[in-house]
Amino acid sequence: MNSNRISNKEVVSILKEVLAAMDVKNFNVFRVRAYQNAIAILDNLTVSIYDLWENGRLKEIPGVGASIYAHLNELFSEGKVKEFDAIKKDLPEGMFALIGIRGIGARKAFKLANAFKIKTREGAVEKIKEHAEKGEIRELEGFGEKSEKDILEAVGQFKMTKNEKERVLYSKAEETVERIYDYMKEADALSHIEAAGSFRRKNATIGDLDIPVATTDPDKTIKHFLKFPEIAEILVKGDKKCSAVLKNDLQVDLRVSTPEAYGAMLQYFTGSKQHNILLRNFALSKNMSLSEYGIKKGSDIYEFADEPSFYKFLGLPYIEPELRNGSNEIEAAIENKLPDLIELKDIKGEVHTHTTDSDGISTLEEMVEAAIALGYEYLGISDHAPSVTSRGYREVSDIIKKKRAVINKINEKQNFIKVFFGYEVNILADATLGLPDEVLSELDYVVASIHTSFNQDREQITDRLLAAIENPYVNIIGHPSGRLLNQRDPVDPAWDKVFLAARDNNKILEINSQPDRLDLTDDLVKEAISWKVKMVISSDAHATDQFSHMKYGIYNARRGWAEKKNIINTLGFSDFVKEAGIRLK
């Protein structure tokens, strides 16, 4: 294996430091911006940047221009980049440890590290704290008593800026957004409020909330918002916008617009930045220019109350927020080839759920009842499989026989729903499954998932996934990348081999809807579709109230350009049984 194979996180952190150094050294703004764009895009990839490079596909990534490509090429082939070293030369290393503390960007970090001769990263934050306590920071040019106090406070509570903070799960941000909507309902003069930014694009994680509002009285609306009881600190208070940090540490940027021009404001702050840049270029080619206030054509500025009319004016169909990632959505829009995205109402049933028989907290009967209430045609129960090693073959056979009887009875008793009997079986470290084939053959279907040994090298991870896919009794690979947002990186197999094997063996990859999984990740969903791999979306509910997680999986699938036809649990009972290879007993 090549020793220069480094993780996406490392690549991004190397680029971020170069960007900071370029900033300090006053590099050309276009060059700086090119780096910013590339970083924003690379930061959101789950596919390995190294792999893309190795497969000659790195150039396809939007934002990776010729110069950045050349540098990454050098990084991956040589292990380091001469020009990066040159750019960072003469800068005190300590500055890189200071960037990201709230109020400290690249330039301030440089000034501080330089003034106090902070040469190493280690201990840099502590040193700054000492100098602030001694009142030495206020003496520096460009700093004052106020910024010293802010730095001291930020260091004391180790408050990082939005860009360095841990990103918040979409589902958590959603709770906050609901409370803000509720509170803002009381504001008069307000005619529309919608959280934009990454939240509206349904990103798996959210950096901060951007909320454009339409109002006939901006002053009143802003004043009302600033009295929101959850605000911990007000950062900016203007007549067109304000920013505050909430007690849960989430930052909210509120912007006001007139109702007549709200469409352009919503569009601008929905982003993504890269989408907006590409859209601006497209508009320029038609002699129009875009801003958060409207579209300028000749000397006239046109206003739009909503987004569809904004896109229409540009000669484009409406582009769903989930597609606005700055990849190929504008080209697709021009050619009228945007996907017809899947919706929650398309789902007809699901096959990855747990009960009190394993680690669930609702009983089998309760889960079935909840699925009937949702109008599902079928429900697969896939508890973690009992272990043959600890219980012995005979006991496991007994458990299966008993459960089969229970499920048969449920299926005979009512006509609303068909219950499938499956297990979620571990893909073990040695690439075998947690249950022997003769036991698997007694089940209606099998979900195979990796739950342990995530740190194996990529050949081993690839082999494990391939072995599971090739097992004749396995129908579905559960949460294929194994990532846990903010906790565990995705595994990094040769995805092309995994997709190929899934397609050739007619197996299904799961999109798991748990808010901290969302796995397959959005970019892998898009890849899987291009390989013509079938997918299901699962709530992986461990309790009746978790069936509602399905919507997060839908959002994630939509970000991966999935249509109804790509997701097989949009099929009715008999078609699903056929497509999924369910072995009804």
- Non-local (6+) Cβ contacts of 417 within 8 A are 349, 368, 371, 372, 376, 377, 378, 379
Smallest gap from residue 252 Cβ to Ca ion (A): 9
* Cα atoms in the Cβ-side hemisphere of radius 13 Å centred on 203: 25
Residue-by-residue DSSP string for 475-508: -EE-STT--BTTTBPPP---HHHHHHHHHHTT-E
Chain position carrying tokens 């002699």: 287
Smallest gap from residue 182 Cβ to Zn ion (A): 33
Contact call for residue 271 and ligand DGT (CB under 6 A): yes
CA atoms of 262 and 190, how far apart (whole Å): 12
Is 301:294 a contact under the CB 8 Å cutoff? yes
Contacting residue, 115, 140, 277, 374, with ligand DGT by CB under 6 A: 277
Chain position carrying tokens 């007619």: 506
Contacting residue, 100, 197, 218, 360, with Ca ion by CB under 5 A: 197
Q: Which residue is nearest to Ca ion (CB)?
A: 197
Nearer to ligand DGT, 46 or 569 (CB): 46
Contacting residue, 44, 276, 353, 512, with ligand DGT by CB under 6 A: 276
Question: Which of Zn ion, ligand DGT, Ca ion, none does residue 473 bind (CB under 5 to 8 Å by kind)?
Answer: none
Amino acid type, 246: L
**Pair of tokens at residue 232:** 């911990």
Smallest gap from residue 221 Cβ to ligand DGT (A): 19
Contact call for residue 92 and Ca ion (CB under 5 A): no
What residues between 233 and 262 interact with Ca ion by CB under 5 A? 253
Question: Which of Ca ion, Zn ion, ligand DGT, none does residue 277 bind (CB under 5 to 8 Å by kind)?
Answer: ligand DGT
Smallest gap from residue 540 Cβ to Zn ion (A): 5
Smallest gap from residue 206 Cβ to Ca ion (A): 6
Among 575, 554, 448, 560, smallest CA distance to 508 is for 448
What residues between 520 and 549 interact with Zn ion by CB under 5 A? 540
CA atoms of 537 and 380, how far apart (whole Å): 12
Chain position carrying tokens 């918002």: 225
Q: How many CB atoms lie within 10 A of CB 183?
A: 15
Q: Which residue is nearest to ligand DGT (CB)?
A: 271
Contacting residue, 272, 362, 471, 521, with ligand DGT by CB under 6 A: 272
Q: State whether residue 196 is helix, strand or coil.
A: coil
Nearer to ligand DGT, 20 or 278 (CB): 278
Contact call for residue 519 and ligand DGT (CB under 6 A): no
CA atoms of 253 and 265, how far apart (whole Å): 13
Question: Which of ligand DGT, Ca ion, Zn ion, none does residue 272 bind (CB under 5 to 8 Å by kind)?
Answer: ligand DGT
Contact call for residue 482 and ligand DGT (CB under 6 A): no
Contacting residue, 253, 303, 329, 424, with Zn ion by CB under 5 A: 424
- Non-local (6+) Cβ contacts of 215 within 8 A are 187, 189, 190, 191, 221, 256, 257, 258, 259
Question: Which of ligand DGT, Zn ion, Ca ion, none does residue 244 bind (CB under 5 to 8 Å by kind)?
Answer: none
Residues that bind Ca ion (CB under 5 A): 197-198, 208, 210, 253
Residues that bind ligand DGT (CB under 6 A): 197-198, 203, 206-208, 210, 268-269, 271-273, 276-277
Residues that bind Zn ion (CB under 5 A): 424, 540
